[in-house]
Amino acid sequence: MASSAQPPEVAGDSGTDGGSPAGSGESFGDRSLNQGLSVLVGLALCVTMLGLGCAVELGQLGQQLRRPVGLLLALLGQFVAMPLLAFLLALIFALDEVAAVAVLLCGCCPGGNLSNLMSVLVDGDMNLSIIMTASSTLLALFLMPLCLWIYSRHWINTAVVQLLPLGAVSLTLGSTLLPIGLGVLIRYRHPRAADLLVKISLWSLLVTLVILFILTGTMLGPDLMAHIPASVYTIAVLMPLAGYALGYGLATVFKMPPHCRRTVSLETGCQNVQLCTAILKLTFPPELIGSMYMFPLLYALFQSAEAGLFVLVYKMYGKDSHKPDMLGEEEDTDISYKKLKEEEVAETSYGTVSAKEDNSIPMEPTQTAI
């Protein structure tokens, strides 16, 4: 009974510490749209995971497993760098326990599908991008609850951490394996249908985030949105930006080529916000999490905007400097091709001489006859 009475007190206290204000969680939970929002979140997660599975080819997966650089980068980026970054930001900005858990949960999530789309726009390595997203999603089944357990120790004496549903988190992660496996099967059996589903999942990602942002803002109300502390908005801006920088630095340490560095950078900074939203929505009591349910949506907004700036800068500057290298490679290829053709012509002319000698053979008997 004591533990069931604690969450409302936490929601009320966090209003003074910069978290969700008192009563925000109750109004959020009493909304008629709440149930529909839960269904939308679950469907969005299923479509996203299905699209991720459709992007995975078994042949490429086997090659990556034989040379598991992508798997290692996904492990270091998503479950070492990003959780530590989220933990440090929560400490630096002195977040209360509710906001800290929301930030930690987002930092411990695997990579999202947005990175696959952005990797295409910056001429990245798509195979590496897809393998990193898929492998981090599978690793999250075990490593995400572990990271949450490790980094939430600082707030262990608070009710929100004591109620942290690690079992429910694992169950939610496990439920994503079914659409991923179905997507892999569709890719294997029906490649064209898989390509279509990948496009649908990417567009549904953008549409769903917009709908969630609008519905959640409507349910919480502008007054309650204003109670989200400025430090949370600041973290939502800094965290993806720092993730992109950490990913690029990580790829540089591994001495990867520039297009792979851009890919790893985007893979590290882009989190699976659909998964984070689903866990917050489906596993935490609304009166406990309150307005902090908005954090993954804020993160999605800023990670998309910053990735868009990344793409814009690359299109304006990076691509022009990349073209001469490509042209140089094409010229070298043309020169080598010309040399090869000259050698083939020389060999052909030699064959022609032998053909003339064949023509001279019938003349010899004529001279002999004379």
Using one digit for the tens of pLDDT, what is the confidence trace for 82-130?
999 999 999 999 998 888 989 999 999 998 878 887 888 888 888 888 8
pLDDT of residue 39: 73
pLDDT of residue 153: 83
- Tokens representing residue 333 in the block: 């290829």
Give all domains of the chain, ordered by start, each with its CATH number: 40-315 (1.20.1530.20)
pLDDT of residue 333: 36
Partners of 111 in beta bridges: 271
Select from 250, 245, 312 the least CA-distant residue to 70. 250
> Distance (Å, rounded) from C-alpha 293 to C-alpha 63?
39
The structure tokens 């995975």 sit at 56
- Tokens representing residue 56 in the block: 């995975």
pTM confidence score: 0.70
Element (H, E) at 85: helix 82-92
- Tokens representing residue 230 in the block: 């400025």
Residue pair 262/128 in contact (Cβ under 8 Å)? The answer is: no
Element (H, E) at 59: helix 58-66
pLDDT of residue 285: 73
Please, which residues have CB within 8 angstroms of residue 33's CB and are 6 or more apart in sequence?
Answer: 215, 218, 219
CB atoms within 10 A of CB 341: 10
CB atoms within 10 A of CB 163: 16
For residue 245, the one-letter residue type is A
CB atoms within 10 A of CB 338: 10
- Show the low-confidence residues of the chain (pLDDT under 50): 1-30, 320, 322-370
User: Which three-class secondary structure state does DSSP give residue 115?
Assistant: helix
Residue pair 305/239 in contact (Cβ under 8 Å)? The answer is: no
For residue 52, the one-letter residue type is L
> Distance (Å, rounded) from C-alpha 158 to C-alpha 10?
8
